């Protein structure tokens, strides 16, 4: 469990193409992907000519059968339409040099499908941003969308399940549950795991996807 760079992704892409059913997640395995994206961002106005790029795909595999989280990864993605600003580095911990070591966006999408069967299993995120950002970048760069159409907005489900009128952020949801934030906030890998922890607690408290 860790971060994937360009070289490792190339190797994984070759290996996962020959995975058998026991290695690759199946649509019948009752698994869900928890995804959290980080993207280039700026304090104040967006620089002329630059477009926000995904720079990390954080994900956690959640077993719906026993309500537990397992694999936790961060895929570093190389930005092609913008640079990592100082503000973005302060927020996410990502630097331009780290981002440049990442995979091309199209390769990262292929890896999601090859390793996690991402288009065939349900997935969730904290809010709608991740789904919209993923779809937007895929359309703009003409890359096949790697995720399934069954998506759950856990921010809304959290509020509904606990009877909260106002939608809250992930860190506040953790506090309301008496849980500590693990890792760094705005690290895609760490945030995906924290979202999965929230879902784990929700299911312990009677939440279901029915």
* Better pLDDT: 21 or 59: 59
Q: What is the pTM of this model?
A: 0.89
The fraction of the chain above a pLDDT of 90, given in percent, is: 82
Strands 3-4 and 123-125: unpaired
The predicted model gives 59-87 an average pLDDT of: 95
In CATH terms, is domain 3-204 a member of 3.30.420.10? yes
Contacts of 25 by beta carbon, 8 Å cutoff, 6+ apart: 31, 61, 115, 116, 117, 121
Is-contact 77 210, C-beta < 8 A? no
- How far is 179 from 163, CA to CA, in rounded Å? 18
The mean pLDDT of the chain is 90
- How far is 60 from 26, CA to CA, in rounded Å? 16
């Amino acid at each position: 469990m860790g971060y994937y760079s360009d070289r490792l992704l190339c190797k994984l892409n070759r290996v996962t193409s020959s995975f058998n059913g026991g290695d690759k997640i199946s649509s019948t395995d009752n698994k869900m992907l928890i995804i959290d994206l980080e993207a280039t961002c700026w304090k104040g106005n967006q620089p002329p000519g630059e477009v926000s790029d995904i720079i990390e795909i954080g994900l956690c595999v959640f077993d719906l059968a026993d309500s537990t989280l397992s694999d936790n990864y961060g895929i570093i993605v190389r930005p092609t339409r913008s640079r990592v600003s100082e503000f973005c580095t302060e927020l996410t911990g990502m630097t331009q040099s780290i981002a440049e070591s990442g995979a091309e966006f199209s390769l990262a999408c292929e890896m999601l499908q090859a390793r996690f069967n991402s288009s065939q299993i349900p997935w969730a995120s904290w809010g709608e941003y991740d789904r919209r950002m993923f779809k937007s970048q895929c359309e703009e760069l003409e890359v096949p969308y790697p995720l399934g159409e069954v998506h759950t907005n856990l921010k809304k489900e959290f509020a509904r399940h606990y009877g909260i009128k106002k939608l809250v952020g992930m860190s506040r949801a953790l506090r309301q549950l008496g849980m500590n934030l693990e890792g760094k906030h705005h690290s895609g890998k760490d945030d995906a795991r924290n979202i999965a922890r929230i879902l784990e607690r929700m299911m312990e408290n009677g939440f279901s996807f029915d």
